[in-house]
Amino acid sequence: MRVLEPSTSYCIGFGTSSIISATKPYSQRIIYIPPNGQKRRKLVKEWSRASLVEVRPRAVPAVRRDGAAGNGSATVVPVVVQEATPSSIVPISSASRDRAEDMQAEVKAMARAVNATVYTPQLLSSRYGSRPFRVLRRAVEIFAGLGSFAFKLWIDQLNNQLEVNRRFRAVELRQVFTRLGPTFVKIGQGLSTRPDLCPPEFLEELSSLQDALPTFPDEEAFACIEKELDLPLDSIYSSISASPIAAASLGQVYKARLKFSGKAVAVKVQRPGIEEAIGLDFYLIRGLGFFINKYVDIISSDVVALIDEFARRVYQELNYVQEGKNARRFKKLYADKQDVLVPDIFWDYTSNKVLTMEWVEGVKLNEQEAIERQGLKVLDLVNSGIQCSLRQLLEYGYFHADPHPGNLLATPDGKLAFLDFGMMSETPEVARCAIIGHVVHMVNRDYEAMARDYYALDFLSPDVDVSPIVPALRDFFDDALSLSVSELNFKTLVDGLGAVLYQYPFNVPPYYALILRSLTVLEGLALYADPNFKVLAASYPYFAKRLLTDPNPYLRDALIELLFKDGKFRWNRLENLLVQGSKDRDFSAKDALQPVLKLLLGPDGEVLRDLVIKEAIRVTEAITFGTMIDTYNAIPSPMKNLLSNGNGNSPFMMGSAEQESMMELRAQVFRIWSLLRSSESFDPTILQPVLQVLNEPEARSLGGRVFGGITQRLAARLLQQVLRAPPAPAS
C-alpha cells in the first residue's frame, strides 16, 4: 500500500466520518480501506509516519460495523482524496471549527453512555428484592466486618483503653472499609472530612482511603478501554503507564500520551462489577434507614431520603460522560480566575466507563512540605480554595461536593487544581441569599432573623413556629460569638448548630450538608499549616462584599436591617462591612450601597427616605460643628478669649457628651469615605447615583426635605449660641 505523502490534500474517511487537511492540490484518488482488521491498523501507522498537518488534532474515528446487528464483518469503504482549489475553500475561524468539532465529539460520547444506569429506589428493589440469598450473604459480610470492629471498641471502653488503642483501631477501621468494598470506601472518605464525628487519629487514617486503594488487573482495564471506545489501544495512545498511578473507590487512573497530539492525559477506568456491588450495599443500607426512621427518635431527619440522595450522587459518579460534562461546566464558571485550574476533557476518548482528561502536575494540598519546597504557601492555596468555594456555593450555586485532599492539587505555578467532578451539587437561588443573610445575622446576633432564615433555607415548613428556636440559638451563639469573627472556628459553629437542629423539627437539605462538608474540609486542610486559621474569618469579606453590592431584594433588606436600628443609622456597622468587604479582591467601591440607593428612589422607599433624612441632618450637623470646633481649637489663646468674652469657656453651647458623640460621628463618616477612596476601583463617579437622585421628582422632594431639616437644625444651633443658653446636662 502506498504511504500517503505529507503536504498533500487528503480526505480520509472511515464509514461516514472524515478528517480534512488541505495543504496543496492533488489529483483525486480512490483508496479502499477495510474498516477493521490488521490492514486498517497498518494504514493508520503509515499515515502517522507521513506526518500530515491536520487543521485540528482529532482522534482516530470509531470503526463502523456493518449491519444493524453489529456482526463485525468488514466492509470496503471508498475513501476519496479530492483536489482542493482556492475557490472551493470556505474560510472558517479556527475557534469556530474547534467548538463545532468539540460539540460533535461530546455528542458521540453521550451516545456511548446512553445506557448508563440512573438510580431509583425501584431499581434496587427490582434487582435485589428477589435475591434473598445474595442479600443475606452480603449482610453477613458487612455485619462480620463492622460488628467485630464495634465489639473491639466496646472491649476497649470496658478496659479504659480507648485512648491507648485509638491509633490501632483507626488502622483497623480503614482496613475494614477497604475489605468491604467501594461503597464503604466512599463512606470512609466522607468520615475523613468530619472532625465533628471522628477523632484526629481516625481522620488521618481514613484520609488515606482517598487514593491508597487496591487496584484491579491492568489487562481488565485495557480491555475495558478498547471495548468502550471501540478502538485498539495502540491507535489511541503512543504510551500508557503499565500500572495505575492512583486507585480511587470507583476506578483507577493511568497516565498516557495521546497518539494524535502527544498530549499527556489522565485515563480513568471504572472498576469491573462496581455497579452491582454498590447497588447491593445501598439496598441494605436503605433498609437500615427505614429501621432508623421508625425506631430512632433522636434523629429527626429523613434518613432514607439522605441515603437516596447519596446513592443518586454515587450512581452519577459511575457515568463518566456526566463527570466530563460536570468538569466542563465547572471550568466555564470558575476557571476564569488566574489561581484556579480545571483540566479539559477529551471527548473522543470518553465513555460511560472511561474518562480521558488533561494531565495535571501537582502536589496534594495536605502535603505541606512538598508544597513549600516549590516556593508556595499552603494558606494562599487554601484561601484560593475558599474564595472559589464561596463563588461555587453562593454565586452560581454549582459546587464541587467532594473536595478531599486527593481532589485538590497545588500546581508548580501556584494554581489550585480541582479534580474528580463525579460528585457535584447545586444550591437553590433562594438559599444562596439566605445563607449570606444567615451568616450576617449570626455575626450581628440577630437571632430572630436567624430563625426566620430557616424558612428560606428550606429547613422548616412555613407552618412551624420559630419563636421557641430563638432562645436555643441565643444560648449557643452568645457564647460562641463572644469571640471575634477572626477567632470563630467553623467546626465549633457546625457542632453547635447541629445540636440546635437535633432539638427541633428541622429537615436539613442534602445541599446544606455538602456545603458544611466542603468548608470543613478546607478549614481542616488549613489547620495543618496554621492551627489558628479560621475559615469564617477568611470568608467574611466575601459575605460583606455581597451584602454591600448585591441587588437581590433579600440581601438588600438584610443590609437595611443591619444598618438601621430603632430609627438610627449604625455607622459602625457600615464601617465594619466596608473594612471587611474591601479585603475581597473583587470589591468595587462604585458598586457599594447601590442597591440601597436604588431603593431610596423606588416607590417602596418612603420609610427608608425618612430615616435617610434624619441621618443626613445629623451628619451635616456633625461635620459643620465638628469643623467649627476643630477650627476653634486651632486658633491662638488670645483669640479664644476674645470669642468667649474672656471667661475661657467654649463658645459652643453643648454638653461634653454631645460634643464627643458629634465628633465621633464625623470621624466615622470620614473613615468610611477614606475606605471608599482607598478601594482600587475607586472612581469619583461613585457619587453619580447621588447626583442622579437630585434629578428625579421624588429625589428633589427628598433633597428639599433634607435641606429644610438641615437649615432648621443649624438655625436652632445658631440661636442657641446667640442667646448663650446654658449647656444641656449630659444624659
Catalytic residues: 402
Residue 67 burial (10 A CB sphere; 0-12, 13-18, 19+)? exposed
3-class SS of residue 257: strand
Q: ∠168-170-171 over CA atoms, to 5°?
A: 65
CA–CA distance from 648 to each of 500, 637, 642 (Å)? 61, 9, 9
What distance in Å separates the CA atoms of residue 44 and residue 62, rounded to the nearest whole number? 13
Residue 688 burial (10 A CB sphere; 0-12, 13-18, 19+)? exposed
Query: Minimal CA–CA distance to 537: which of 478, 479, 483?
Result: 483
Q: Is the dihedral of CA 497, 503, 508, 514 positive or negative?
A: positive
User: Residue 655 contacts by C-beta under 8 Å, 6 or more apart in sequence?
Assistant: 727, 728, 729, 730
Residue 244 burial (10 A CB sphere; 0-12, 13-18, 19+)? buried
> Phi/psi of residue 40, each to 5°?
-65, -40
User: Residue 456 contacts by C-beta under 8 Å, 6 or more apart in sequence?
Assistant: 430, 431, 433, 434, 437, 554
Pair type for strands 416-418 and 340-341: parallel
Cβ atoms of 416 and 408 within 8 Å: the answer is yes
User: Residue 487 contacts by C-beta under 8 Å, 6 or more apart in sequence?
Assistant: 534, 537
Cβ atoms of 36 and 74 within 8 Å: the answer is yes
What distance in Å separates the CA atoms of residue 315 and residue 311, rounded to the nearest whole number? 6
Q: Is the dihedral of CA 16, 17, 22, 26 positive or negative?
A: negative
Cβ atoms of 396 and 333 within 8 Å: the answer is yes
Query: Minimal CA–CA distance to 255: which of 269, 263, 244, 270?
Result: 244
What distance in Å separates the CA atoms of residue 33 and residue 76, rounded to the nearest whole number? 6
Which residue has 480521558 as its cell numbers?
356
Cβ atoms of 694 and 616 within 8 Å: the answer is no
Q: In sequence order, what DSSP letters do the residues of 307-335 get, joined into one string? A: HHHHHHHHHHHT-HHHHHHHHHHHHHHHT
What distance in Å separates the CA atoms of residue 55 and residue 471, rounded to the nearest whole number? 68
CA–CA distance from 731 to each of 356, 625, 655, 658 (Å)? 74, 20, 9, 9
Q: Annotate 389-436 with three-state secondary structure.
A: HHHHHHHHCEEECCCCHHHEEECCCCCEEECCCCCEEECCHHHHHHHH
User: Residue 184 contacts by C-beta under 8 Å, 6 or more apart in sequence?
Assistant: 142, 176, 177, 281
